[in-house]
Structure 1
Amino acid sequence: MQTPLSILQKYWNHDEFRPLQCEIIDSILSGQDTFAIMPTGGGKSICFQIPAMMKEGICLVISPLVALMKDQVANLQKRNIKAIALTGGIKSDEMIDLLDNCQFGNYKFLYVSPERLQSDWILERIKNLSINLIAIDEAHCVSQWGHDFRPAYLKISKLKEHFKKVPFLALTATATPKVKEDIIKELGLQNTQLFQKSFSRPNIAFMVFEVEDKLFRIKQILNKNPEPSIIYVRNRKSCLDISQQLQSMGFKATYYHGGLTTKEKDKNMQLWMQEEAQVIVATNAFGMGIDKANVKTVIHIQLPENIENYYQESGRAGRNGEKAFSVILTNPSDVFQAESQFTNNLPDKAFLNLIYVKLCNYFQIAYGEGIDEHFTFNLNHFCTKYNFPTVKTYNALQFLDRQGIISLSQEFSEKISMQFLISSKEVIRYISLNSNDEEIILAILRTYPGIYEMQTPFNLQLIAKKSGHKEEEVHAVLQKLKEKDCIEYHSKNNDATLIFNEIREDEKTINRVSKYLEKQNQLKKEQLQAILFYINEKTTCKNKLILDYFGEKIETNCGICSYCISKKIKKTDAKSLSKEILTLLKTEDLNSREIQNKTKNSSDEVIFVLQELLEKEYLVIHSNNKYSIKQ
């Protein structure tokens, strides 16, 4: 007889379960609706994969993360377990074949996005499947107070009406008390068995340091802890810049962001995974599915978006159980920048409507049309064409993606730019001699009137659609023109693939989702304030602050965070160091590094005393980051 442990051993080659996995599996096997809150890397997928393997029928897995779905399907297939994912970009006839396979092909797992369930015919087909378990991953998305709310998740409860005896399993890594209540209510869970692993990570020291020179502090940290490290930044440019600066300082460093090709991502990831690079500098695009046990340090050099993201990113350190560090490096300007950038980059209803209309115009989508249209999309070109701010535009597009109005994938497709090198008369002559190419060339000339004067970004799908030809045929014509030196032609990878999931209805479309935009904007403001409070609060254990955010109360301090370490500095030592610093500053202004070198104290001790002296108004700090005695 099969047992959960025998399946774990047979397919996953593990001899024991991680904490809570066994209890969650038993709850599902007994037919109970189950809610599991487990930190990143806690092994959530095993909790539904093993009970599904033990039951007749197929497990329906609902997830918003296309890359994660593909990754899990590939991992199951490697283990000779039959699994399918209905991701974006699959044509209807292919979808019918895949659903037929689910019904008649003895498949064990069907992965779908919540947006797919909004198609009535797909929902009807799923209702005819022998579903044995419904697993909802990233379940916080069902809550309007969750950090990645998606209205499509609200429709999942409809499945409860049809599959009344099928257990539901809701999974998430982070949930505040308010979000927990929402998940149970909105998914319609009954007599729910709740399993929650403590948010406490006792082996991680949560550190916040106010520093003048972040690179110098990073150098100190990496020299002291030469094990694998992650440095999180907020944008792609910082990835490359910080990586190069670390290399110039003698560290082996690489970088990772959403703008890299799959090949580049894999190459850079492997450098770090195989420890040919000590450090990987990354945006929050990095981390999904990353399970490297010996990460010693996670450093944030810009303020995280929210506590949820910070906690998940911090949790990539110390998975081997050994002491690890999660460090935020900050200075006063960070707070000002975060607040100003945050306010400037929040799209309101009017901006969202403008972006949507211009996006439809950009791809020449007529009113009442556009559903299931696919395009390659370059964000920078779109923003340049309409003079839109890039970050605010990206936030608006991300919101439209979460609402299911569009699907914006970060999978790369080809980006083309071209320019005619021959005159218009010569082009007409070429068309007369190559009549088969006429429709394609005329579509190009009508769409891009400036293509004689300059290199012009070129949308392959758009020209294929306007000329009534296949993309391969357009590509073949371009190659022929290039070989005959009629055009200059450049091809490189593009930013994203964009799919329109609904017909264009302009304000009607935006009006339907604007109420969610207002709530999400309010939530983001509250989340920013929570991060600022975490950074600025100097009288409470940092571990306590994080646990309190997630509704977990503890009495004792962790003893290893930046607050707890500062309390260990003996008052007598602090008093004598204060005197020494004041004596030094009587003769010259100094920055913290110079004070550290002259006093032979640790940077933590110096910063602690400097902050006390600033608070007591004995010192002032100047724009050049040098301290002087207040006159």
Structure 2
Amino acid sequence: MQTALQILQKHWKHDGFRSSQIEIINSVLEGKDTFGLMPTGGGKSICFQVPAMMQDGICLVISPLVALMKDQVQRLQKLDIKAIALTGGIKSDEMITFLDNCEFGNYKFLYLSPERLQSDWILERIKNLPINLIAIDEAHCVSQWGHDFRPAYLKIANLKTQFPKVPFLALTASATERVLEDVIIQLGLEKPAIFQKSFSRKNIAYMVFEVEDKLYRMEQILKKNPQSSIIYVRNRKSCSETALQLQSLGFKATFYHGGLSVKDKEKNMSLWLNEEVQIIVATNAFGMGIDKSNVKTVIHIHLPESIESYYQEAGRAGRDDQKAFSVILTSPSDKIQAQNQFINVLPDKKILNQIYIKLCTYFQIAYGEGINEQFSFNLNHFCQKYGFPTLKTFNAIQFLDRQGILSLSQEYSERITMQFIIESKEVIRYVSLNTQDEPIILTILRTYPGIYETQTAINLSLIAKKSSSDEMMIHSVLEKLKNLDIIDYHKKNNDATIIFNEVREDERTINRISKYLERQNQQKITQFDAILNYINEKKVCKSKLILNYFGEIIETDCGICSYCISKKPKSSDHSLISEKIIGLLKIQDMNSREIQKLTKNTDDAIIFALQNLMENNMILILSNNKYTLKL
């Protein structure tokens, strides 16, 4: 049998394991239940992929993140390792085929969401698989105190009775001590070996700067550190706008969010990964499964919703162990905006019930029906039709998704359906007279034999590959055929897809899950308070604050965060700069850029002096982002 290191070198081309990886792998190989608490970028997937490859049988991987499952399956397939993901939207007959492949086709990995375990027939099929390891990714979702609790995760413990000798491996990047203990209990882990890597990232300088001009401050940071960078924003509009602003300043920048097509996501991601652009501006849809080691700077220009999410996003910097920066830029209005975005939009039981009933009405689902039905969904149209607030509605639907009532896919998609509306002999006649269109038309006919009888959804990329053409050419041919009344052709862009996982039961459904809603809302408020404390606390090392949140108590300051730097003596004469600033503010209120130009000091020196003057209650920052003397 090949060793773990040989497997790693053969398939993943790494020379050695990262900290904790080999210890976790050895624990699993010894048949022990194991818990791996590894910060983002720690290489969690290797911890189950390597031991699974060392043994006969298949590894069952349970994860709530569809995009991450697809990404890992694609990566394994590129390595010629057989892997399958049972994600939403797969029909029952396809799932039967996939599970047959797992049972008889020598597959090594089966990925599925926890909601799949609620289907009795899938559970029965899983019992027949030669499972060698059960890996639970994002294991904090098991705990009711975790930041993304999903009741479906509680069903995983049932697998213990079916596979008593198969080790469980629970993995997460962010869990407090309370969550860790709850996960162990809920999964029924038996005397688990716990490998808890420190949350400390000694090479990351955590920075918080209160500024009046975020774009100007970003420009300074990105010029000073011209290496690969990520800027996180809270919405799609800010993504494109911020990228354009940075481009206007001469930076090479692109953007990434859930509303882009798969092709545009891949294109923009490739530009950034291949160093063709310095900056990618992104929502939190970006980052899962991204392993770019040389990210120098991560900047948040909007407040994160929790320490957990901030820590994961900040941790995408400095994976090469070189010094890196994670910066939050704040202004006085951020707290109110974040409160409106995170707290005031939390749905209560009443509106959750209204939204669920209207969703069923919207899709014409009768009471007692709807299970496994799939629909295209445009959130804005739905909200306009029924007068619902958009963010609160989105949060309500996300909650229903986490509870397994429905599945929400936010991936952009272009759905194309067509049907030939003339006789087959007339189609052949057209082909004989238009030979340039022949490869595309014949490929469609061979791939979809029922396309004369009914409207049929077609896969453009598949047709392009089989006909040796490109998707633009296929679009052109289809438009031409439509104009000639040869086909009935429709294309529709969808913001999302919704699959109903249960029959419609209105209040009975909502009453069953409302206790989780109340607990989730309280958890969101607690997490929001924690991020506000992190931002506002000016007398404690930022690294210490993060570590304390996750239960790690350390005595020494990090020495490189914004707090620690503010305490270091500066080469420039700090008192002289402060005097100049006070003199200017006696004349009139000014912003930092005006002060910097008039004093002719460096931007860093000015920011340092302003922060010290504010901490000593000598100046204030106004709502118009100008500084003024405190009376």
Report TM bin, short chain.
0.7 to 0.9
For 1:303 and 1:83, locate their aligned partners in 2 and report how far apart those are by CA, in whole Å: 38
User: Per-residue deviation at 1:109?
Assistant: 1.4
Indicate if the aligned counterparts of 2:145 and 2:178 stay in contact, CA closer than 8 A. Answer: yes
Counterpart of 2:259, as a letter, is G
Indicate if the aligned counterparts of 1:204 and 1:324 stay in contact, CA closer than 8 A. Answer: yes
TM-score (norm 2): 0.88
For 2:201 and 2:612, locate their aligned partners in 1 and report how far apart those are by CA, in whole Å: 29
Corresponding residue of 1:263: 263
Corresponding residue of 2:118: 118
Corresponding residue of 1:146: 146
Tell me whether 1:524 sits opposite 2:524 in the alignment.
Answer: yes
State the Cα deviation string for residues 86-139 of structure 1 (Å, max 9, x = none).
Answer: 111111122122212222222221111100111011111111222111110110
**SS of aligned partner of 2:587:** coil
- How many residues end up aligned between the 2 structures? 582
User: Per-residue deviation at 1:572?
Assistant: 10
For 2:245 and 2:612, locate their aligned partners in 1 and report how far apart those are by CA, in whole Å: 32
For 1:472 and 1:126, locate their aligned partners in 2 and report how far apart those are by CA, in whole Å: 31
Corresponding residue of 1:194: 194
- In the TM superposition, what are the counterparts of 1:472-487 in structure 2 within 5 Å? 472=457, 483=483
Corresponding residue of 1:56: 56
TM-score (norm 1): 0.88
Indicate if the aligned counterparts of 1:376 and 1:414 stay in contact, CA closer than 8 A. Answer: no
For 1:45 and 1:628, locate their aligned partners in 2 and report how far apart those are by CA, in whole Å: 52
- The farther-off stretch of 205-214 and 241-250 is 241-250
For 1:9 and 1:618, locate their aligned partners in 2 and report how far apart those are by CA, in whole Å: 59
Corresponding residue of 2:13: 13
For 1:521 and 1:14, locate their aligned partners in 2 and report how far apart those are by CA, in whole Å: 43
Indicate if the aligned counterparts of 1:39 and 1:174 stay in contact, CA closer than 8 A. Answer: yes
User: Per-residue deviation at 1:560?
Assistant: 0.3
Counterpart of 2:277, as a letter, is A
The change in CA–CA distance for 1:480 and 1:227 in structure 2 (over 3 A counts) is closer
Tell me whether 1:95 sits opposite 2:83 in the alignment.
Answer: no
Indicate if the aligned counterparts of 1:376 and 1:415 stay in contact, CA closer than 8 A. Answer: no
Indicate if the aligned counterparts of 1:416 and 1:489 stay in contact, CA closer than 8 A. Answer: yes
User: Per-residue deviation at 1:240?
Assistant: 0.7
For 1:384 and 1:290, locate their aligned partners in 2 and report how far apart those are by CA, in whole Å: 36
For 1:4 and 1:343, locate their aligned partners in 2 and report how far apart those are by CA, in whole Å: 46
Tell me whether 1:67 sits opposite 2:45 in the alignment.
Answer: no
Corresponding residue of 1:547: 547
Aligned-pair identity (%): 72
Corresponding residue of 2:233: 233
Indicate if the aligned counterparts of 2:578 and 2:613 stay in contact, CA closer than 8 A. Answer: yes
User: Per-residue deviation at 1:411?
Assistant: 2.9
For 2:60 and 2:488, locate their aligned partners in 1 and report how far apart those are by CA, in whole Å: 49
For 1:554 and 1:488, locate their aligned partners in 2 and report how far apart those are by CA, in whole Å: 68
For 2:144 and 2:16, locate their aligned partners in 1 and report how far apart those are by CA, in whole Å: 37
Corresponding residue of 2:409: 409
Counterpart of 2:311, as a letter, is Y
Indicate if the aligned counterparts of 2:542 and 2:563 stay in contact, CA closer than 8 A. Answer: yes
For 2:524 and 2:330, locate their aligned partners in 1 and report how far apart those are by CA, in whole Å: 20
The change in CA–CA distance for 1:533 and 1:469 in structure 2 (over 3 A counts) is same
Indicate if the aligned counterparts of 2:333 and 2:623 stay in contact, CA closer than 8 A. Answer: no
- The farther-off stretch of 185-194 and 58-67 is 58-67
Corresponding residue of 2:564: 564
Tell me whether 1:127 sits opposite 2:159 in the alignment.
Answer: no
**SS of aligned partner of 1:61:** strand
Corresponding residue of 2:435: none
Corresponding residue of 2:3: 3
Indicate if the aligned counterparts of 1:82 and 1:108 stay in contact, CA closer than 8 A. Answer: yes
For 2:82 and 2:523, locate their aligned partners in 1 and report how far apart those are by CA, in whole Å: 40
Corresponding residue of 1:157: 157
Indicate if the aligned counterparts of 2:25 and 2:48 stay in contact, CA closer than 8 A. Answer: yes
**SS of aligned partner of 1:169:** strand
The change in CA–CA distance for 1:435 and 1:20 in structure 2 (over 3 A counts) is closer
Counterpart of 2:558, as a letter, is C
For 2:65 and 2:615, locate their aligned partners in 1 and report how far apart those are by CA, in whole Å: 46
- The farther-off stretch of 571-580 and 546-555 is 571-580
**SS of aligned partner of 1:586:** helix
- In the TM superposition, what are the counterparts of 1:478-627 in structure 2 within 5 Å? 483=483, 491-569=491-569, 573-627=573-627
User: Per-residue deviation at 1:470?
Assistant: 4.3
For 1:513 and 1:559, locate their aligned partners in 2 and report how far apart those are by CA, in whole Å: 46
User: Per-residue deviation at 1:414?
Assistant: 3.0
- The farther-off stretch of 51-60 and 280-289 is 51-60
- The farther-off stretch of 31-40 and 573-582 is 573-582
State the Cα deviation string for residues 160-201 of structure 1 (Å, max 9, x = none).
Answer: 112111110001011111110111010000111001111111
**SS of aligned partner of 2:567:** helix
Corresponding residue of 2:471: none
Corresponding residue of 2:463: none
User: Per-residue deviation at 1:16?
Assistant: 1.2
- The farther-off stretch of 369-378 and 296-305 is 369-378
State the Cα deviation string for residues 348-404 of structure 1 (Å, max 9, x = none).
Answer: 111111111111111111111111111111111111211222111111111111111
Indicate if the aligned counterparts of 1:256 and 1:269 stay in contact, CA closer than 8 A. Answer: yes
Indicate if the aligned counterparts of 1:208 and 1:327 stay in contact, CA closer than 8 A. Answer: yes
- RMSD of equivalent CA atoms: 2.6
The change in CA–CA distance for 1:341 and 1:8 in structure 2 (over 3 A counts) is closer
User: Per-residue deviation at 1:552?
Assistant: 0.9
**SS of aligned partner of 2:344:** helix
- The farther-off stretch of 81-90 and 490-499 is 490-499
Counterpart of 2:99, as a letter, is L
Tell me whether 1:310 sits opposite 2:292 in the alignment.
Answer: no
Counterpart of 2:520, as a letter, is Q
Corresponding residue of 1:453: none
Corresponding residue of 1:175: 175
- The farther-off stretch of 338-347 and 178-187 is 338-347
User: Per-residue deviation at 1:571?
Assistant: 11
For 1:171 and 1:629, locate their aligned partners in 2 and report how far apart those are by CA, in whole Å: 51
For 2:524 and 2:364, locate their aligned partners in 1 and report how far apart those are by CA, in whole Å: 33
Counterpart of 2:210, as a letter, is E
The change in CA–CA distance for 1:615 and 1:292 in structure 2 (over 3 A counts) is closer
User: Per-residue deviation at 1:570?
Assistant: 5.4
For 2:47 and 2:530, locate their aligned partners in 1 and report how far apart those are by CA, in whole Å: 32
Corresponding residue of 2:295: 295
Tell me whether 1:206 sits opposite 2:206 in the alignment.
Answer: yes
The change in CA–CA distance for 1:492 and 1:470 in structure 2 (over 3 A counts) is closer
State the Cα deviation string for residues 247-285 of structure 1 (Å, max 9, x = none).
Answer: 111111110000000001011111111111111100000
- The farther-off stretch of 318-327 and 47-56 is 47-56
Counterpart of 1:126, as a letter, is I
Indicate if the aligned counterparts of 2:257 and 2:286 stay in contact, CA closer than 8 A. Answer: yes
Indicate if the aligned counterparts of 1:566 and 1:605 stay in contact, CA closer than 8 A. Answer: no
For 1:274 and 1:259, locate their aligned partners in 2 and report how far apart those are by CA, in whole Å: 22
**SS of aligned partner of 1:170:** strand
User: Per-residue deviation at 1:602?
Assistant: 3.5
The change in CA–CA distance for 1:203 and 1:132 in structure 2 (over 3 A counts) is same
User: Per-residue deviation at 1:213?
Assistant: 0.2
Corresponding residue of 1:252: 252
User: Per-residue deviation at 1:74?
Assistant: 1.9
Corresponding residue of 1:452: none
The change in CA–CA distance for 1:568 and 1:119 in structure 2 (over 3 A counts) is same
**SS of aligned partner of 1:345:** coil
